[in-house]
């Protein structure tokens, strides 16, 4: 699992931690990836660390025991490309087939069926493809008239198809010899697309599967909020905390342990509320909102947003389509009365609006 990169498109949130640890529905993005690998029967996992807060990754995952896996950490440092990260795994992999999964890519239903198919195949590699509206922003596959994979192109100006490469690669040790001879691209990186293309050029067997559910590359604020919506669409309602009389819980709402929804508060699902959180009278939590642990919502309306742990919100207006970092405080300046706010707030910020 790759856990590097600087997450520049997600600043200021990534000034204080890796993008893969940003929570969606109260769980870090990369934890969904790790659990997908585990559920596919892969319990020996290497996490490739960058040089951007690697200690936070180690702190969250530890040795992997609490997640039911064994974790080995490998250090890449600077982001020199996916293929470079893969090359670091040679000793870890040995002579076995293996899976490379980007730590910020989410696939509905996980990778179990694809993994099982690759295990029993005689392929040298397999990629996952997904139709997208903006293929020029991704690696793109070209198929011939017989639907055979013939070419992979990184971010083409004129895409030959709308089939984007998903950030999951099923590989054999054959790939290491190819990577050894790669030259850095114009970005200064060793491109996995070029490595896979070299396998094709050598007439090795490179298969593909189409992802028929949703796939999200969570590289922007908009992608993360959309991923939060997709995951919340599948939550099961459960109240582990306390909902006082005269509080209103509507639709699919999950309230975790030691949290309190006070009388007069309204929550309209799908919504997830973390542990030790208080939703006070005068608060409205609207659909597709995730509220983290140890949060205090004293007043205000929140909808289609992610509020991370240890935040305090006390506003007169509405927050929507927002991503608010941990340990942040958002309050109202009572001399102004705007109708709504759309915010991206980094960790330990204080905002008066």
pLDDT tens-digit profile of 67-95? 999 999 998 877 788 999 999 999 999 98
Q: Quick one: 112 and 206 in the same domain?
A: yes
pLDDT number for residue 14? 59
Residue 311 CA to residue 289 CA, distance in Å, equals 14
Check which CATH number belongs to the domain holding 117 and give it: 3.90.550.10
Closest CA to 129 of 107, 97, 109, 156: 107
Q: Quick one: 218 and 291 in the same domain?
A: no
- pTM value is 0.87
Which of 202, 232, 262 represents a domain boundary (last residue)? 232
- Domain span including residue 300: 238-352
pLDDT tens-digit profile of 3-48? 866 556 666 665 666 778 889 999 999 999 999 999 999 999 999 9
pLDDT of 216 > 70? The answer is: yes
Residue by residue, DSSP assigns 260-287 as EE-TT-EEESSEEE-TT-EE-TTEEE-S
pLDDT of 351 > 60? The answer is: no
Q: Quick one: 94 and 123 in the same domain?
A: yes
If one counts the domains in the chain, the total is: 2
């Amino acid at each position: 699992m790759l856990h590097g990169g600087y997450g520049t498109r997600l600043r200021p949130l990534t000034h204080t931690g890796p993008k893969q640890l940003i929570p969606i529905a109260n769980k870090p993005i990369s934890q969904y990836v790790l659990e997908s690998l585990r559920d596919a029967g892969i319990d020996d996992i290497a996490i490739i660390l960058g040089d951007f807060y690697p200690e936070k990754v180690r702190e969250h995952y530890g040795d992997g025991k609490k997640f039911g896996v064994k974790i080995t950490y490998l250090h890449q440092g600077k982001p020199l490309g996916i293929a470079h990260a893969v090359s670091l795994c040679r000793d870890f992999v040995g002579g076995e087939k293996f899976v490379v999964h980007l730590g910020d890519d989410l696939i509905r239903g996980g990778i179990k069926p694809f993994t099982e198919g690759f295990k029993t195949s005689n392929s040298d590699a397999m990629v996952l493809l997904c139709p997208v509206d903006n293929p020029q922003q991704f690696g793109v596959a070209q198929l011939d008239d017989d639907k055979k994979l013939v070419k992979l192109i990184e971010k083409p100006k004129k895409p030959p198809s709308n089939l984007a490469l998903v950030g999951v690669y099923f590989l054999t040790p054959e790939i290491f010899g190819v990577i050894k001879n790669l030259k850095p691209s114009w970005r200064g990186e060793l491109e996995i697309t070029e490595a896979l293309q070299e396998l094709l050029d050598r007439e090795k067997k490179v298969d593909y599967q189409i992802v028929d559910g949703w796939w999200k590359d969570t590289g922007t604020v908009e992608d993360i909020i959309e991923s939060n919506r997709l995951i919340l669409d599948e939550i099961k309602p459960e109240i582990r905390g306390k909902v006082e009389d005269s509080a209103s819980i509507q639709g699919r709402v999950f309230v975790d342990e030691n949290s309190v929804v006070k009388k007069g508060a309204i929550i309209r699902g799908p919504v997830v509320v973390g542990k030790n959180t208080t939703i006070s009278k005068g608060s409205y939590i609207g659909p597709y909102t995730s509220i983290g642990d140890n949060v205090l919502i004293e007043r205000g309306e929140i909808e289609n947003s992610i509020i991370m742990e240890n935040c305090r919100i006390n506003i007169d207006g509405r927050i929507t389509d927002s991503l608010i970092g941990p340990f942040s405080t958002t309050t109202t300046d009572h001399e102004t009365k705007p109708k709504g706010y759309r915010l991206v707030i980094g960790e330990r910020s204080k905002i008066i609006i």
